[in-house]
Amino acid sequence: MEFDYDLFVIGAGSGGVRASRIAASHGARVAVAEEFRIGGTCVIRGCVPKKLLVYGSHFAEELQDASHYGWSVEGMSFDWAVLRDTVLRDVDRLEVAYTATLDNHKVEHFKQRATVTGPNTVRLASGREVSAKYILVATGAWPVMPDFPGNEHCITSNEVFHLPELPRRVIVQGAGYIAMEFAGIFNALGSHVTVVNRSETLLRGYDEALRDRLLQITMARGIEYKFNCPIKKVEKQEDGSLLVWVGDHDPVPADVVLVATGRRPNTDGLGLETAGVQLGDKGQIPVDELSRTSCESIYAVGDVTDRVQLTPIAIREGHAVADALFGNNPRAIAYDCIPSAVFSQPPLASVGLTEGQARNQFGNVKIYTSDFRPMKNVFASRQERGLYKLVVDAGTDRILGIHMIGPEAPEILQAAAIAVQAKLTKADFDATVALHPSMAEELVLMR
């Protein structure tokens, strides 16, 4: 059978663009459809613009510390509109760059919604139907908005980049990485931030010692927490402000309510059932080790699947699909040693097993820690301390996990993650000469 394309990709985010580019480089005829903007969640409304806001918010702290280093900074002020618009301009630049990548590889792209109509057919919003030997679904995930009265007055991480002004009072519902990152951004920029969460745990899945340290530091920085307190109702006042009922507490006034309670795979209305693609209970697409769905001709990668919701994973999965289908190189992606970071303030980063996970799997483990005050903070009024932690298998001396909180922790962890991936031992770390003076040297000085 002759198809219009060898591969049709639905979704031009990180995974979809990578799969399209690699498939085209193998000689495949490729098309991709994107209903919003080329670049996807990470580039357009996720990790990239959010990290730029983090950088912008860091200047509040840096300028305060400058006087201790001999600098006189007069007339300090902050303009939210300047930061917001600068970030949005960079998003525009990146969209152009991602589009150019598709054009340079002769990938046809349609800026419209596409839905599946069968194992090998897709219908575009224009009404045109096209056929493809293979279909790849890379539509990502969408923020979840809980059902409570007044939720229409709340925003998600999609809208937070477009706020007309910096809010004086922000309520953040949730305590995952998105919630903690935006809580840190607004707190640093001068907003009063209250984090409300339906449980008493923040950053579930990270090592407990890091979570406790982050809670202590952020409370000292002025972030308030209300645990076991889901939002019950939000009312808009005559002056445009909001009144928020959380748990059994008195209502809390706010100017912005940011809901960050998780993301749901973006499969609604895609027509996957017409091709016999099975979905999970949360809309996720179950796939095998080669990213194939229950329909042999349809694949899925990234946040839309039942695996890990991280941009680098989506990129690797998309690359692997293209190599398997058109490069004669089928391979599975390993998910057992994935570094991750939370760009909170201060940031934390982790790779491998937490202490609890290691004890459950290996039983006898050794824990090494370094609890120190970063040199950067010595001249500042902050008494914040960094914490590095190594989790080691007592029987083999192999490092099972590395966990860090402190300035530049994500930048340091990326290199350290290689050690966990390579199954290096604590003796290998001990034999490495320290780079002094640095925070990273703490990794090789724990005894």
Q: Dihedral sign for Cα 425, 427, 429, 432, please.
A: negative
CA distance 14 to 315: 6
According to the annotation, is 51 in a ligand binding site?
A: yes
Residue 262 labeled ligand binder: yes
Contact call for residues 133 and 7 (beta carbons, < 8 A): yes
Residue 178 known to bind ligand: yes
The Cα–Cα gap between 260 and 124 comes to 31
Handedness of CA 44, 49, 51, 54 (dihedral sign): negative
335 annotated as belonging to a binding site for a ligand: no
How far is the C-alpha of 190 from the C-alpha of 395, rounded, in Å? 49
Is 436 annotated as catalytic? Answer: yes
Say how far apart CA 334 and CA 289 lie, in whole Å. 9
Among residues 68, 105, 319, 436, the one annotated as catalytic is 436
The total of other beta-carbon atoms located within 10 Å of residue 334's CB is 9
Chain CA centroid to CA 393, Å: 29
> 296: how many CB neighbours lie within 10 A of its CB?
11
Known binding residue 95? Answer is: no
Let me know if 27 is exposed, middle or buried by CB neighbors in 10 A (0-12, 13-18, 19+): exposed
Cβ pair 244, 171 in contact under 8 A: yes
Hey, what's the torsion of the CAs at 78, 79, 80, 81, to 10 degrees? -170
181 is in an annotated binding site: yes
**Residue 225 assigned as binding residue:** no
* Known binding-site positions for NAD(+): 174-181, 262
* Known binding-site positions: 51, 174-181, 262, 303
Catalytic annotation, residues: 436
* Known binding-site positions for FAD: 51, 303
